[in-house]
Amino acid sequence: MAGWVSIDGVESPFEAARIPVADLAITRGYSVFETLLARDGQLVQLELHLERLRHSCRAALIDCPPRELLILEMQRVVARVATTARVRITLTGSGRRIVSAEPIDPRDRWRIPVRAVSGVHHDEPVLGGGVKHSSRIGWMVALRRSGAEEVLLVDANGRFTEATSAAIIAVVDGVLYTAPADGRILASTSCTAIVERARELGIGVVYAGASASGGWDALYLASSTRGLAPVCELDAVPLPIWDRVGRLLIDAEPANTNRF
């Protein structure tokens, strides 16, 4: 089933969608975006994504449309797809509003083990790391060069910060470690939900990136379309997956999530 898109309120299938070639999203990569999951017609973690989008717009000097308009357009394209979907809002520097829904099969991605390589974290000098913008060419090239599915970024202190499309969560001696949203990295909506679940279960949480040199019980990624997914290989070295804490976290997920 093909995806559907709404461009400034005009809906069409993906293959019929058009934006001008002079749009700043194309010529300069000047846009911000959010990606979320639609399940059973419901937009998952909607308010967290909208708040992060508003933050990105403020930082990137892009006007953010009214909340009600964005929700309406997301609901309309999700209804066109009528299945589990990846929903994306893109707001361009030229003032365009692009809302799309693309069908996905969660069995191809949800909780599936991930092969990863490590890479170097560089602080973004103008916007900071907390803005979800579309200038991702460096990360895309790193992925293609490595042949892996994710690049796990490591700062000058030898600690994980974030991955190219996910948050990094390590379990060390039964405690969760994840980098703080201190302006260097994108605040992860999925990681926030997992941390809340961990605290409900009495699992300790430390807001510090785990050492990239090892010593983890297990290493995980967290994103809207992966859920909690184990890293099964890092820099061609196999890793253990689904430790006791990881199992506890997924067992405690809502019933409509566990069916995936």
Q: Say which residue, 110 or 257, is predicted with more confidence.
A: 110
Res. 57: pLDDT tops 70 = yes
Looking at the structure, tell me whether residues 157 and 91 fall in a common domain. Answer: no
Assess contact for 154 and 148: CB atoms under 8 A: no
Own/partner contacts of 64-68, CB < 8 Å, gap of 24 or more, are: 64/91, 65/91, 65/97
Q: Which structure tokens are listed for 212? A: 């990239």
Provide the residue range defining the domain that includes 89: 4-104
**pLDDT tens digits, 179-213:** 999 999 999 999 999 999 999 999 999 999 999 99
Predicted confidence (pLDDT) at residue 28 exceeds the cutoff of 90: yes
Distance CA 8, CA 137 (A): 26
How far does the chain reach from its first CA to its final CA, in angstroms? Answer: 19
Domains identified in the chain, total number:
2
CATH of the domain at 43: 3.30.470.10
Check whether residue 131 and residue 76 sit in a common domain. Answer: no
99, 114: one domain: no
Look up the CATH number of the domain holding residue 122.
3.20.10.10
pLDDT in the model for residue 258: 45
Asked whether the predicted pLDDT for residue 41 surpasses 60, the reply is: yes
d(CA 83, CA 102): 9
Does the predicted TM-score (pTM) go above 0.75?
yes
